[in-house]
Amino acid sequence: SSFGLRYRTFYKDLIATGDYSTDPRDANLFVDTAVKGRGFGLWFDFYYFGTGTPSGFAFRLASGLDIDQSTVTLDATRGDDNGGAAVTLASAKSTITVASLRLATLGLDLGFGPVGVRTGLTLLVPLAEFGKKFSATTAYTSETDSPALQAELQEALGHKKSTFGLEGNLAIYIVF
């Protein structure tokens, strides 16, 4: 058996810049969009098949449980090439926790006594999502609470449970 914790970041800063308007009078205006994310989780695997030795080359097959919580934020800001004030057009934050079944964890171990290197590939099948939260604000205050605007931003962000996942890992381990 094995267990672990993980932390990851998604796109330290993913920024897209585009024209704000096609109107020539607004040619100096542009929009910067930044999306950031982070996640942490824990997993537990039970090894039910293995060959080799801990102090050499070994092949392992496992299944288990994975719980992952992630947060994604979006900020869209209108800027002005002529030095005008920047305006935040939209901000959104989405948080979701997903419990998944870890199927067919295929792993290769290369051990050197009590220390080793492990590489593996895991198929994840999401079972349930819980703790889902979404909030958004826009510069258009009359539309901030609009369910249609909230739904549009949430769909554009695309932060939701998928039908399956594939995880690759590379780890250094200590046997004690």
Please give the torsion angle defined by the CA atoms of residues 168, 11, 95 and 130, in that order, rounded to the nearest 10 degrees: -10
Q: Which two tokens stand for residue 13?
A: 């800063």
Distance CA(93)–CA(53), nearest Å, equals 47
Q: Are 40 and 5 in contact (CB under 8 A)?
A: yes
List, for residues 119-152, the tens digit of each pLDDT value: 888 899 999 998 889 888 877 655 555 677 777 7
List, for residues 155-176, the tens digit of each pLDDT value: 877 788 888 889 888 888 887 7
107 confidence band (pLDDT: 50, 70, 90): confident
Distance CA(122)–CA(102), nearest Å, equals 7
Q: Which two tokens stand for residue 14?
A: 């993913």
Distance CA(34)–CA(17), nearest Å, equals 9
pLDDT score, position 161: 84
Q: Are 10 and 49 in contact (CB under 8 A)?
A: no
